[in-house]
Amino acid sequence: MGADSNNSDLKNNYRKVKFYVDGKFIDTGTIHCGLIMGDHTKVGINTMFNTGTNVGTACNIYGGGFPPKFIPSFSWGGADGMTEHILEKAIDTAARVMERREVTLASSEIDLLNSLFDRTAAERNKAFSG
């Protein structure tokens, strides 16, 4: 996460937090629920997230303002708009991050990323179409 990125786990009105799951917002039953973010997601400097934000796997989120409360896996962008993160580039970045830690991105992990990319295509299409 980039420097000065932040998230709140408590809404200003102290109401229960709603969280996006399986195509709809659900009541979490709690007033505390911050940010849930998938593996291999990167966040730029000064990025802000609303309470109850759900960010998928292999995203690159940046820019001013608040991005959407639901960001599907393999998304690229921020509050000013999102687009699909290119799968091959996401895998390349994940491999570089792992290599920096002296770990090899396993073929099973690459298979998992490929599968997740396919399984979340409809979420991205819906989120980016308006």
Q: What residue ranges do the domains of the chain occupy?
A: 6-128
What is this structure's pTM? 0.92
Find out whether 90 and 47 touch, Cβ atoms under 8 Å. no
What pLDDT digit, counting tens, does each position of 94-130 carry?
Answer: 999 999 999 999 999 999 999 999 999 999 999 988 6
| Confidence check: pLDDT of 91 > 80 | yes
What are the structure tokens assigned to 98, written together?
Answer: 């792992």
Distance (Å, whole) CA 104 – CA 45: 27
Cα–Cα distances in Å, from 90 out to 25, 33, 42, 84, 99? 27, 27, 10, 10, 14
More confident residue, 127 or 74: 74
Contact, 57 vs 87, CB < 8 A?
no
Q: How many residues does the chain have?
A: 130
